[in-house]
Amino acid sequence: ADLPPKPVRLGLCAACHGETGMAQMPGAPNLAGQRLDYLRKALQEYRDGTRNVPLMRTAIGPLNDAELDQLARWYSAQTPQPQAAAHP
């Protein structure tokens, strides 16, 4: 009920992180319920290259600050879902 509007750019992120922030791919972190301040900073650092992850820079390089903020709010507002335990 308290969810922010779905970001226009969500599809780009959802391929790996899921629409609700539960990762869909090995190597991708869960984002559901992550702290908003952390997500905002991480997105800015991926975009400017401080966090040097080429895939992320390619994905969000074209996004503006408002779009990054929408994405951070969306994922932070999601509730983490239980997952099957993975203990490789």
The binding site for a second copy (CB under 8 A) comprises 2, 4, 23, 26-30, 32-38, 41, 50-52, 73, 76-77, 79-80, 82-83, 85-88
Task: Supply the minimum distance, in Å, between the C-beta of residue 13 and a second copy.
Answer: 15
CA distance 32 to 55: 20
CA distance 60 to 68: 8
**And the tokens for 22?**
């539960």
Task: Supply the minimum distance, in Å, between the C-beta of residue 56 and a second copy.
Answer: 13
CA distance 31 to 19: 10
Tell me the chain's radius of gyration from C-alpha atoms.
13
Task: Between 42 and 63, name the residue whose CB sits nearer to a second copy.
Answer: 42
Task: Between 31 and 63, name the residue whose CB sits nearer to a second copy.
Answer: 31
Polymer length in residues for the chain: 88
Task: Supply the minimum distance, in Å, between the C-beta of residue 28 and a second copy.
Answer: 7
Task: Between 41 and 62, name the residue whose CB sits nearer to a second copy.
Answer: 41
